[in-house]
Amino acid sequence: MATPLQLGFQDAASPGMEELVHFHDHALMVVYLISSFVLYIIVTLVMTKLTNKHAHDSQEIEIIWTILPAIILIVVALPSLRILYLMDEINNPHLTVKAFGHQWYWSYEYTDYDDLAFDSYMTPTQDLIPGQFRLLEVDHRMVIPTESPIRVLITAEDVLHSWAVPALGIKMDAVPGRLNQTTFMTSRPGIYYGQCSEICGANHSFMPIAVEAVPLTHFEDWSTSMQQTV
Amino acid sequence: MLASQAAVRGLQRSLWRALSTARCVQAAHGKDVSADVLDCSQPQYCNRPDTPLPDIPFVRNLTADQMKLKEKEKGPWTKLTMEEKLALYRLSHELTYAEMRKGTNEWKTVVGVILYFMGFTGLVVWWQRVYVYGDVPQTFSEDWVEKQTKRMLDMRTNPIQGISTHWDYDKKQWK
């Protein structure tokens, strides 16, 4: 989850997010270089005492400032496309979870082995235990095993929603009448929070997502106990 | 309340616009306000640092004394006194380079007005905080933030470069 006054990404909890973080570092460096160069040019342009009222054209600089941006774009595009195709690779998920967006809560179904389905409502602020996170805690988290590829099928029951977990590098729209698929793998155990990312009405800001990644045995115990309670 | 505030702001704005374009205020800041009707089909005199020799001299209609000086200028320049040289300069140019580059004091007025409006905005923000906004949620209390931070550290949130890397788990204190 994010900490106060945080500006950058949350630490990656999946290999996909790691790739995105590194690409962002690379692209941001390119952006900083271009911006500082342009700023330098503007400052020298404004502050100079030199005047030239007869500058018409220059073939050399035109060639340079056409070729160089093309090279820069290629330098940015190649890693970007690499990650794009990486995201679409076949990875044989161990588990499929279905996430349904409702107004204004998520519901999850684990139907690979048994029938497990439950709703996930936000814990209201006045019901929080001291130390819990406002607007992020839910009554039933989506529990998954660590270090296993997970497939999530996302759809909505009423209006558009979006299932997003920044630490895992996932955001996928929940469209009514459509199944969107995304896969991820958590590298380490923990609870990863996200919030609905498509405006869906009055309580759009109050339907968070909490993904709890636990070792496989714990996941199996949870699955058994959830089935008995729900 | 809001309507009267808007009316006051509108008045201040139109007042500033009227003032800043008023000739007396511009003249007070040292701007040259003598520009009357220009006939742009004729060569113009201009004071520009990048044009050392304008199209026409500044003084077109010379008095008798000035014409005599112009005749003397046709001879060797070593015979001209300093005052005569300066007078000849002022005949062909209105301003020296130093005078052209001097600048005005307008920026002080602009900065002053900016600061004034920033102060006024601060006043409005303070008033909102005191008279409009309610209490912040209970999760902002010191006790809650402490428990919350402890929970984040226990959960090992952001353990690569974030908050959990700043906590020494053995000594149980911040690094």
Q: Can you give the residue ranges of every domain in chain B? A: 47-102, 106-134, 141-174
Reported as a single tens digit per residue, the pLDDT across A177-189 is: 999 999 999 999 9
Of A212, A180, A185, residue with least CA distance to A198: A180
Cα within 13 Å of Cα(A135), Cβ side? 13
The pTM of this model reads 0.81
B78 close to B110: Cβ distance less than 8 angstroms: no
Which of B50, B143, B162 minimises the CB distance to A3?
Answer: B162
3-class SS of residue A109? strand
User: In a mutagenesis test of the A interface, which of B148, B158, B174 is the best target, namely the one with the most A β-carbons within 10 Å?
Assistant: B158
Of A212, A104, A105, residue with least CA distance to A150: A212
Can you tell me the ipTM of this complex?
A: 0.89
A150-156 vs A161-165, strand pairing mode: unpaired
State the average pLDDT for chain B.
89
Reported as a single tens digit per residue, the pLDDT across A32-81 is: 999 999 999 999 999 998 888 888 899 999 999 999 999 999 999 999 99
Number of H helices, E strands in chain A: 3, 10
Reported as a single tens digit per residue, the pLDDT across B80-109 is: 999 999 999 999 999 999 999 998 999 999
Asked if B155 lies within 8 A of A12 by C-beta distance, the reply is no
CA distances from A217 to A113, A221, A222, B156 (A): 15, 6, 9, 21
Query: B63: exposed, middle or buried (C-beta count within 10 Å: 0-12, 13-18, 19+)?
Result: exposed
Asked if B151 lies within 8 A of A131 by C-beta distance, the reply is yes
Chain B contact for A21 (CB, 8 A cutoff): no
Q: In this model, does residue B21 exceed pLDDT 90? A: no
User: In a mutagenesis test of the B interface, which of A133, A186, A187, A192 is the best target, namely the one with the most B β-carbons within 10 Å?
Assistant: A133
Asked if A190 lies within 8 A of B156 by C-beta distance, the reply is yes
Q: Which residues of A touch B155 (CB under 8 A)?
A: 190-191
Backbone angles phi, psi at B111, to 5 degrees: -60, -40
How far apart (Å, rounded) are the C-alpha atoms in residues A182 and A165?
12
Q: In this model, does residue B30 exceed pLDDT 60? A: no
Query: What domains, with CATH codes, occur in chain A?
Result: 15-88 (1.10.287.90), 95-228 (2.60.40.420)
Which of B50, B147, B155 minimises the CB distance to A190?
Answer: B155
A186 close to A168: Cβ distance less than 8 angstroms: yes
Asked if A1 lies within 8 A of B160 by C-beta distance, the reply is no
Continuous H helices in B41-160: 64-73, 82-92, 97-101, 106-131, 142-154
Architecture of the domain spanning B47-102: Orthogonal Bundle (1.10)
Q: How would residue B24 be classed by pLDDT, with cut points 50, 70 and 90?
A: low
Q: Is the bond preceding A104 in cis, omega lying within 30 degrees of 0?
A: yes
